[in-house]
Amino acid sequence: MKRAPYQNTTTPSSSWACPRPQDTARVARLLTDTVRDNVWLLRGPLGSGKTTFVRGLLRGLGYRGVVTSPTFVLTRTYLLPPNKRWGVVLHIDAYRLRDRHEGAALDIASAAMNPRCLVVIEWPERLQEHPWSSSHTLRFRHIKNGRQISLRTK
């Protein structure tokens, strides 16, 4: 995991080059310690490492079970072992959302209001409404040697 030399803090924007999946996981663990908001938007094309990032995030928070993509079920909820900050992670993949009603049924707004719930959303652009007040955006890109992750704070 290599941070771009022109950045030396994690806010308001930072980026990391991640040659291997484990580097992506390491960035996720780093951010769980530093990011304050509880809604994280994960943007980037298919296969750019969003789910890999969430898996790393959950491992870092002590979750030991299987972490699979919610591509078909849309959401997965993970209860964490006793943890200083988060009690639960809600992982959403909106890629297959069919319409705005289905999006509303996910009730992201309630989860976002719970400060003990970390909400991570893949394909947030497929949601019609963004009912949360503040969020962090992580952008994933394919680069020549792996992936690049950039953090932008709204």
69 binds ligand ATP per the rule CB under 6 A = yes
- The partner in contact with residue 18, picked from ligand ATP, Mg ion, none with C-beta cut-offs of 5 to 8 angstroms by kind, is ligand ATP
* Cβ closest to ligand ATP, residue 103 vs residue 146: 146
When asked if residue 66 is in the footprint of ligand ATP (CB under 6 A), the reply is no
State yes or no: residue 39 binds ligand ATP (CB under 6 A): no
In the complex, minimum distance from the CB of residue 87 to ligand ATP, in angstroms, rounded to a whole number: 24
DSSP character string of the chain: -EE-TT--SSSSEEEEEESSHHHHHHHHHHHHHH---SEEEEE--TTSSHHHHHHHHHHHTT--S-----TTTSEEEEEPSS-SS-SEEEEEEGGG--SHHHHHHT-HHHHHH-TTEEEEEESGGG-S----S--EEEEEEEETTEEEEEEEE-
Both structure tokens of 83: 């943890």
Nearer to Mg ion, 51 or 148 (CB): 51
State in angstroms the smallest separation of the CB of 119 from Mg ion: 15
- In angstroms, the CA 41 to CA 121 distance is 5
Q: How many CA atoms lie within 13 A of 125 on its CB side?
A: 7
CB of 122 vs ligand ATP, minimal distance in Å: 5
Map residues 13-32 to x or -, x wherever contact with ligand ATP holds by CB under 6 A.
-----xxxx-xx--------
**Closest CB 122 distance from Mg ion, rounded Å:** 5
In this chain, which of 52, 94, 118, 136 binds ligand ATP, going by CB under 6 A? 52
The footprint of ligand ATP (CB under 6 A) covers 18-21, 23-24, 44, 46-52, 69, 71, 93, 122, 140, 146-147
